[in-house]
Structure 1
Amino acid sequence: MKIGIDLRVLDSLNITGLGRYALNLTKELIKFKEEYYFIGNVDRSELEYTKNMTIPIELPYGDIEFANKLLSLIGYVEDLDMMFSPFYPLPERRTFKGIVTIHDLIPLRLPEIFRNTGIYNFYDTYMRECAEHIDHIITVSNSTKQDIMELYGIEEEKISVIYLAGHSKCFNREDVGLAQQKVFEKYRINKGYILSLCTLEPRKNLTRLLKAYEIIRTKLKEEFHLVFVGGFGMRSEELIREIEKSPFKDNIIMTGYVPDEDLGVLYSNAEVFVYPSLYEGFGLPVLEAMGYGVPVVTSNVSSLPEVGGDAALYCNPYDVESIAYTIEKVLLSPTLQRQLREKSLERSKLFSWEKTALQTRDVFLKCLNKS
């Protein structure tokens, strides 16, 4: 069987959540016997090219209709049996089966943030049309499955829920050597810290986290950092303005994008990982933090309780006092910290990219075997 994978999400050197999904899933899928075709400007040393063909074509991000014409042509010329897209919509006019992953419908759930933007139109027009004509939809949580059924009117039988997995690289928390110290020096971290990792944008609710940090610092009279890891997203200037006004701004660190080799150090040594997002399709950083045995505080909305289970503590993301109280609860209790670390490690073992790939391949085969 010949299966094409739209890997344009890997065009960027610095990959984040979507790229991690596409890369880790593809690394596992190519271990199976099917013949895979990598579509897009893909140059990743992590992928083996020995039995897989690369089609190095420029698929435009901003012109979905033209990109779909190219995908239709590629599928026809290469005589593909199926095409899989880990994010972007696939063409309606095609000679092959089509499967797409819909990670979330957040712009439609939070229109006050995304209204009148290209990303809103992407979900309200292109993804909606794709969901209607595609052969099958993969999604990453039951929460998003319900959103797809409700907001797109898609029947349940057309949707499969397949969970993601955490970071594939390991880091030894006991390693206190020179390499670890260099990471701390690189990001100017010289004391204990609260860690949050995400693209800096309003949906991630970081302004409320900042206010919660100020409450905790005022109450505990103890110095520790608040570390924001992640690239700058839309309207990130709002957070920057609030940080500049903070009485504790000298202890607030914004690292920007962090390479994988540094992430393990930052995750593993955090006092607590906080992810107060207003809405998530899955919440991959929560699972990644758990994989490093970090106590996790996250929101009690959307998919996050589904991911964290009983291994995380939950707060109301719209209530600054609730965020502050939940974080403080972890900081003040060594016993709770130890319990959460143990639960986090156990919880993370339930997820793996191998399992994600096996379930994804099963969806492929069922779709191909349909008459």
Structure 2
Amino acid sequence: MPRKGHDVLLKALARITDLDWQAKIVGAPLDANHAQELTDLRLSLGLGDRVTLTGQIDDAKLGALFGSATLFALATRFEGYGIVFDEALVHGLPIISCNVGAVPDTVPSGAGVLVPPDAPEAFADALRRLLSDPENRKTLAIAAQTAGHALPSWRDTAAAAAAALTATKAPAS
């Protein structure tokens, strides 16, 4: 989807090709035209060997990607609530994203770096800093994991939702 800012991420990655990295962009191609634009942009930027557009993958493969990742990056233009940030936190991944929508409320300040939206230069600078500074990345990863472990589980969330629904149930007449 265009609002996810994958085009910005690709432009940022094209600015740091002097570093050693590989990237995987995961998600169902809900907008076929935009997915093709991203494929074309990836190739035109010379990132064909470094960036993989995986499409939608199953939970096991997603878990493996989270487990092998160094950091999580999403150059989003807007997020109401990005559950993917919680997933990254639970996996102890430092986050690079944009200071928009609910992202500042979702990503703890010590667990990531937020930059302005639609700013490939700023996003590239944040990527470069984290990829080049293992100590800083480790500090952010520890904060991410701590925040991730403090999040409620799906079972906790379901119980809270059920309790709220039960409390608002109208009395029978």
Please confirm whether the aligned pair reaches a TM-score higher than 0.5, indicating the same fold.
Answer: yes
The residue number in structure 2 matching 1:88 is none
The residue number in structure 2 matching 1:223 is 20
Instruction: Give the CA deviation at 1:369.
Output: 4.5
Pick 1 or 2: higher relative contact order, CA cutoff 8 A, min separation 6: 2
Matches within 5 A, 1:1-371: 201-217=1-17, 221-234=18-31, 235-310=34-109, 311-351=111-151, 352-369=153-170
CA-to-aligned-CA distance 1:335-371 (integer Å, 9 cap, x gap): 1111111111111122221331222122212211568
d(CA) in 1 for partners of 2:21 and 2:169? 54
1:314–1:370: structure 2 CA closer, same or farther, 3 Å change rule?
farther
Extract structure 1 runs of 4+ deviating beyond 3 A: none
With normalisation by structure 1, the TM-score equals 0.43
Q: Which has the larger radius of gyration?
A: 1
Contact 2:108/2:144, CA 8 A, preserved across alignment: no
d(CA) in 1 for partners of 2:89 and 2:104? 13
CA-to-aligned-CA distance 1:132-151 (integer Å, 9 cap, x gap): xxxxxxxxxxxxxxxxxxxx
d(CA) in 2 for partners of 1:246 and 1:223? 16
CA-to-aligned-CA distance 1:283-325 (integer Å, 9 cap, x gap): 1111101111111111111011111122221111211111111
Amino acid in structure 2 at the alignment position of 1:294: L
CA-to-aligned-CA distance 1:40-68 (integer Å, 9 cap, x gap): xxxxxxxxxxxxxxxxxxxxxxxxxxxxx
d(CA) in 1 for partners of 2:171 and 2:88? 39
CA-to-aligned-CA distance 1:11-58 (integer Å, 9 cap, x gap): xxxxxxxxxxxxxxxxxxxxxxxxxxxxxxxxxxxxxxxxxxxxxxxx
Instruction: Give the CA deviation at 1:231.
Output: 1.6
Amino acid in structure 2 at the alignment position of 1:228: I
Amino acid in structure 2 at the alignment position of 1:358: A
The residue number in structure 2 matching 1:28 is none
Higher helix share: 2
With normalisation by structure 2, the TM-score equals 0.90
d(CA) in 2 for partners of 1:348 and 1:370? 38
Q: Gaps (5+ residues) in structure 2?
A: none
Q: How many residues align?
A: 168
Q: Gaps (5+ residues) in structure 1?
A: 1-200
SS in 1 for 2:168: helix
Q: Percent identical across equivalent pairs?
A: 25
d(CA) in 1 for partners of 2:69 and 2:117? 21
CA-to-aligned-CA distance 1:120-176 (integer Å, 9 cap, x gap): xxxxxxxxxxxxxxxxxxxxxxxxxxxxxxxxxxxxxxxxxxxxxxxxxxxxxxxxx
Q: Alignment RMSD, CA only? A: 1.5
Instruction: Give the CA deviation at 1:248.
Output: 2.6
